[in-house]
């Protein structure tokens, strides 16, 4: 019974995710290329603007690229997951389906897009001086943990966004700020010592550290980073699903 | 549960959880977090009892806002009731809003596959349904290959309706969905409903047109303010419904 439920949910998630991907690029000439061009445009700007300022960082383009790929994934996923329930209002109101399907398929679509973008980006990373060691394989579990975190926080915000559309607007307002607050283009020690507590309070800081350790420094992430990132993923995922289940009964009357 | 009944509803309560709008509701929710519920409760169905027999064609009447659509959605499993029990035997196909869920950027074929999966078709059944839907909707291969945003309203309705009725369910729930399409298609819809009826499908039908209800249904109920005000043979309930406007 449980197996059947999971298989059924997977088929639904797959179908809706595929639809999301198709619709996203349907009317554009470059289609899927856009998901590569977007981070690349930022990368070029960063190289122009910061490579002098961060001359002390060896292989700066690689440093920035790693940050940009995983920021873009987070940002895109959040945009999609937060609005996934509202965007599917007409389906939710007319067909009986497990509604968790909508945040999950939004997350799945973005994950697939990101994984596909990793193929060309890996070549680019090699060009910028990525060394492939056995540490590189750690990127797989790291992406998994990061995806869980993204789904958790997105589902949490998406649930409340049904009742208070302010949440979606709030995210749109805050995401550029979060982008600059997260050490993507710069080293975190650029921020004065007395503000380090704020830096550490940003969950994305820890995920960036995780990916940089693996792909830039070619080292095993510290156990502190591993514990923090896994714990945050677990907590946000649990809270996100809990809140979703608790408030889903109000979806139909608020959509 | 009695063997003859496919739907048994006992003491059903359904609430809407409504968030207020504007700055105040958001402020209150944040400021009073833990002290006051952020969502206001509104009772829509208030202790409703209903039994529907297998193969019956049941009419549901009532003024706007009396809870008809909410009842249908609850029966279809879209809304979770607050209290009470619902027992349903068999598969339910809800026809609540024609065209809901169709993705306008994608082709007719894509939409058949997506909507088909959403209503529970899988694998071989899904593949076969494409042909059934194509035949029933009378849309050509060219039409179905086209993005549906280029469809006329009637073509859209044909596609949506055809997907919804492509397999014969145990229970069909119809919410004023048949006033679409041209005359030919409307007749086809009525014919399909008769086919389902003949195949033993139980039908729950909501409409404001008494003639239409009398043509299809034998028994019915009239809702008033979240409760059943009258239940019985269609003529009696129809009379009761008409009198409520005088």
- A206, exposed or middle or buried, with CB in 10 Å at 0-12, 13-18, 19+? buried
B112/B127 Cα distance (integer angstroms) = 10
Which residues of A are less than 8 Å from B19 in CB distance?
163-164, 250, 254
The secondary structure of B138-198 as a DSSP string is T--HHHHHSBGGGS-HHHHHHHHHHHHTSS--SEEEEES--S-S-HHHHHHHHHHHHHHHH
**DSSP 3-state assignment of B200?**
coil
Cβ contact A253–B29 (<8 Å): no
- Contact list, B18 vs chain A (CB under 8 Å): 250, 253-254
Q: How far is B112 from chain A (nearest CA, A)?
A: 12
> What per-residue confidence (pLDDT) applies to A105?
95
Q: What confidence score (pLDDT) does residue A223 get?
A: 94
Residues of chain A with pLDDT > 90, as a percent, come to: 48
CA distance A72 to A139: 16
CB–CB contact A252 B96 (8 Å): no
Cβ contact B100–A250 (<8 Å): no
The total number of structural domains in chain A stands at 1
> What are the domain boundaries of chain B?
1-30+40-91+169-246, 101-168
pLDDT tens per residue across span B176-202 = 766 666 777 778 888 888 888 888 899
Query: Can you tell me the ipTM of this complex?
Result: 0.83
Asked if pLDDT for residue B232 goes beyond 60, the answer is yes
Range from A30-34, A94-98, B46-50, B79-83 carrying the lowest mean pLDDT: A30-34
User: Was domain B1-30+40-91+169-246 assigned CATH 3.40.50.300?
Assistant: yes
Q: Please give the pLDDT value at position A177.
A: 92
Nearest CB neighbour to B103, from listed A19, A163, A252: A19
CA of A96 vs chain B CAs: smallest distance (Å): 5
Query: φ and ψ at A15, to 5 degrees?
Result: -60, -50
Q: Report the residue of A26, A92, A252 to disrupt the B interface, i.e. the one with the largest count of B CBs within 10 Å.
A: A252
Label residue B28 by pLDDT band (50, 70, 90): low
The answer to whether the CB of B93 falls within 8 A of the CB of B78 is no
Taking CA atoms, B124 is separated from A14, A23, A212, B128, in Å, by 17, 25, 47, 6
Dihedral, A37, A43, A47, A50 alpha carbons, nearest 10: 140
More confident residue, B135 or B245: B135
Distance from the first to the final alpha carbon of chain B: 39
Considering only CB atoms, which chain A residues are within 8 Å of B106? 19, 22-23, 26
A227-236, B19-28, B35-44: segment of lowest average pLDDT: B19-28
DSSP string, A40-59: HHHHHHHHHHHTTTTTTSTT
Look up residue B107 and give its DSSP letter.
Answer: B
Q: Higher-confidence residue: B63 or A176?
A: A176
Task: Spell B70-102 as b/e; 16+ CB within 10 A means b.
Answer: bbbbbbbebbebbebebebeeebbbbbebbbbb
| Residue % of chain B over a pLDDT of 70 | 88
Could you list the residue range(s) of the whole structural domain that residue A222 is in? Answer: 2-254
Could B79 and A27 be called an inter-chain contact, meaning their C-beta atoms sit closer than 8 Å? no
Question: Quick one: pLDDT at residue B3?
Answer: 64
Asked if the C-beta of A249 comes within 8 angstroms of chain B's C-beta atoms, the answer is: yes
Residue B23: per-residue pLDDT: 54
The 8-class DSSP code of residue A221 comes to: P
Note whether A209 and A217 are within 8 A (CB).
no
Walk across the sheet containing B202-206 and list its strands.
Answer: B92-95, B171-175, B202-206, B57-62, B219-224, B227-233
Q: How confident is the model at residue B165 (pLDDT cuts 50, 70, 90)?
A: confident
Confidence check: pLDDT of B24 > 60: no
Please check whether residue A253 touches B, CB under 8 A.
Answer: yes
Interchain contact A86–B (C-beta under 8 A): no
Q: Which of A14, A15, A96, A97 to mutate to test the interface with B (most CBs of B within 10 A)?
A: A96
Report the percent of chain B where pLDDT is more than 90: 7
C-alpha A80/C-alpha A75 separation (Å) is 9
Chain B: closest CA distance from residue A150 (Å)? 24
Region B109-123: mean pLDDT is 89
d(Cα A130, Cα A121) in Å, to the nearest integer? Answer: 11
Is the model's pLDDT at B157 over the cut of 60? yes
A94: chain B residues, CB-CB within 8 Å: 78, 94, 96-97, 100-101
Whether the predicted pLDDT of B1 surpasses 60: no
Q: Which pLDDT score is estimated for A174?
A: 92
* Residue B9 pLDDT: 87
User: CA–CA separation, B234 vs B221, rounded Å?
Assistant: 8
Is pLDDT larger for residue B246 or for residue A6?
A6
In this structure, are residues B209 and B202 in contact, taking their beta carbons and an 8 Å threshold? no
Chain A partners of B32 at a C-beta cutoff of 8 Å? none
Helix segments in chain A, DSSP class H: 2-25, 33-50, 60-87, 89-92, 101-127, 139-163, 166-181, 196-201, 203-215, 223-247, 251-254
For the range B123-132, what are the long-range contacts, defined as Cβ-Cβ under 8 Å and sequence gap of 24 or more? Answer: B125/B167, B129/B163, B129/B166, B129/B167, B132/B162, B132/B166, B132/B167
Cα distances (Å, whole numbers) of residue A60 to A37, A56, A126, A169, A186: 19, 9, 13, 33, 9
Contact between chains at A19 and B92 (C-beta distance less than 8 A): no
Ranges of chain A whose pLDDT falls below 70? none
Question: pLDDT band at residue B160, thresholds of 50, 70 and 90?
Answer: confident
A198: which 2 tokens? 């704020």
* B37 contacts: CB under 8 Å, gap ≥ 6: none
Q: Report CB contact under 8 Å: A252, B122.
A: no
């Amino acid at each position: 019974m449980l197996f059947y439920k999971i298989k059924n949910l997977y088929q639904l998630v797959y179908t809706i995710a595929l639809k999301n991907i198709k619709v996203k690029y349907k009317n554009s000439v470059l289609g899927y290329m856009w998901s590569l061009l977007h981070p690349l445009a930022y990368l070029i700007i960063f190289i122009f603007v910061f490579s002098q300022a961060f001359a002390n960082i060896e292989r700066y383009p690689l440093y920035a690229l790693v940050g940009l790929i995983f920021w873009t994934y987070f940002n895109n996923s959040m945009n999609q997951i937060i609005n996934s329930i509202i965007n599917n209002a007409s389906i939710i109101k007319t067909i009986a389906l497990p509604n968790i399907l909508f945040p999950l398929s939004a997350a799945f679509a973005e994950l697939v897009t990101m994984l596909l973008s990793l193929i060309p980006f890996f070549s680019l990373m090699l060009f910028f001086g990525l060394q492939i060691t056995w540490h590189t394989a750690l990127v797989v579990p790291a992406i998994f943990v990061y995806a869980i975190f993204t789904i958790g926080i997105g589902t949490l915000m998406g649930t409340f966004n049904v009742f208070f559309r302010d949440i979606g607007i709030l995210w749109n307002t805050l995401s550029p700020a979060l982008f600059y607050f997260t050490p993507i283009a710069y080293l975190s020690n650029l921020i004065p010592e007395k503000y380090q507590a704020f830096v550490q309070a940003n969950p994305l800081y820890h995920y960036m550290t995780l990916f940089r350790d693996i792909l830039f420094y070619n080292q095993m992430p510290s156990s502190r980073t591993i514990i923090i990132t896994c714990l945050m993923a677990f907590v946000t995922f649990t809270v996100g699903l809990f809140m979703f289940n608790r408030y889903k009964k109000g979806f139909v009357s608020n959509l | 549960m009695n063997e003859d009944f496919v739907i048994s509803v006992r003491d059903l309560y359904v609430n809407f959880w409504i968030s207020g709008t504007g700055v105040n509701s958001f402020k209150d929710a944040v400021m009073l977090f833990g002290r006051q519920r952020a969502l206001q409760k509104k009772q829509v169905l208030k202790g409703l009892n209903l039994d529907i027999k297998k193969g019956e064609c049941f009419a549901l009447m009532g003024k706007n806002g009396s809870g008809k659509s909410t009842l249908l959605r609850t029966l279809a499993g879209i809304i979770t009731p607050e209290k009470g029990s619902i027992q349903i035997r068999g598969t339910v196909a809800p026809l609540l809003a024609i065209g809901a869920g169709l993705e306008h950027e994608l082709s007719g074929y894509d939409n058949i596959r997506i909507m088909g999966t959403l209503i529970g078709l899988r694998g071989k059944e899904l593949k076969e349904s494409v042909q059934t839907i194509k035949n029933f909707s009378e849309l050509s291969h060219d039409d179905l290959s086209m993005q549906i945003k280029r469809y006329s309203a009637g073509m859209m309705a044909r596609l949506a309706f055809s997907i919804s009725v492509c397999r014969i369910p145990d229970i069909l729930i119809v919410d004023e969905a048949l006033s679409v399409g041209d005359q030919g298609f409307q007749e086809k819809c009525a014919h399909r409903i008769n086919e389902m009826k003949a195949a033993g499908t139980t039908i729950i039908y909501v409409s404001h047109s008494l003639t239409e209800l009398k043509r299809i249904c034998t028994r019915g109920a009239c809702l008033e303010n979240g409760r059943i005000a009258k239940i019985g043979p269609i003529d009696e309930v129809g009379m009761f419904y008409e009198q409520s406007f005088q």
